[in-house]
Amino acid sequence: MAAFPDSRRLELAPLQFVLPESRRCLLDLFAGTGFVSGSLGRFFDSTVLVEPHVEPAVADGRRLRRYQACALSASSFESLAGVDLAVCLAGLHHVLGPGSPEDRGSHRQQRLEAMRLWRSRLASGGRLVIADVPAPGTKTGWAEGPLDGLSNEPQSLRSGNIFFSVPDGLAEFTEALACSRLRDYLARMTSLCQELGLGEAEPATFFDRVVSRLSPYGHVACFNSPWELADLFREAEFENVRAFVAPTPWLFPSKAEAVWFVHELLGIGQPCGTAEKLPTHEREPVEGGIFDYLGLRQLPDGFWVVSWKLMYVVGDRP
């Protein structure tokens, strides 16, 4: 992430449409190195990051209320309350029950308990957003619930938004990023990806058939469909549940750097410092998997794009 901080920025774009009116506290779940809070934290009075493995690097430490290295236990959240927005990006598929990897019922119950715990930390009117890789076969553009109520704030806020300046490589998507309503953004983004020849990515299949096979650490995960996750939100007693699937392509200056980034981020093979150091015997199967299950193309401006998609499910605490 540090080498290409803007490569996954389009994963954050839908979040600008779901910011709550009250912005006292942001809770970043499975925070990693602070990808979400590093962009959204500027809109909140304080930020709490929860990450079981590594300490996030937060640029604006003054707004960091607390960092917790913890698991998803109730005791870890006892002193936390009054959260206005909780975001879990690319973490839910690692919330697994005590059963076998194939025991979806066990994983479902564990996720329901986690969501109930997160809900209990929200303020009245607080919002939970879960963004994750959807189950295989889920199509971009799918949506459920009243999306018309999700819109960006007036243009005056955009001067301080996550896209107040468009990073190199995102110029092709400027038109979509300028949309003020989520429904318009999804339609334009989906259309742009089709015009650019980006196919329907299957990241869950890439994890199951490439990452789990090539990674020395393995990759155990269970991927929900957006409608399954929306049902979990309702069972956890969230209201105004909305769900959608958005294309979120990753962008890079070169094809070699795109393959290297995927190799490093997803823990495929042995880590290496730069794209030039990635050995052929590790590069070729990763590149082949990207072509087979994701898609890799060069844009007219010269940047290379790896096709990707995420589902987003949003729910409010009454």
**pLDDT tens across 6-48, in order?**
899 899 999 989 999 999 999 999 888 788 988 888 889 888 8
Q: 75-129, pLDDT tens digit by residue?
A: 667 778 899 999 999 999 988 888 777 889 988 999 999 999 999 999 999 999 9
Pairing of strands 239-247, 309-316: antiparallel
Sign of the four-CA dihedral 243, 229, 268, 206: negative
Alpha-carbon distance 281 to 53, whole Å?
29
Alpha-carbon distance 154 to 173, whole Å?
20
Q: Where is 214: in which H helix or E strand? A: helix 212-214
Domain ranges in the chain are: 9-196+221-249+309-316
Q: What is the mean pLDDT of residues 234-259?
A: 96
pTM: 0.91
What was the pLDDT predicted at 248?
A: 96
Sign of the four-CA dihedral 207, 211, 213, 219: negative
Retrieve residue 156's tokens.
């005056």
CB 172 within 8 A of CB 299: yes
Which amino acid belongs to residue 219?
H
CB 118 within 8 A of CB 129: no
Which burial class, exposed, middle or buried, applies to 200 when counting CB atoms under 10 A from its CB (0-12, 13-18, 19+)? middle
Alpha-carbon distance 94 to 88, whole Å?
11
What was the pLDDT predicted at 153?
A: 54
Give the CATH fold of the 9-196+221-249+309-316 domain: Rossmann fold (3.40.50)
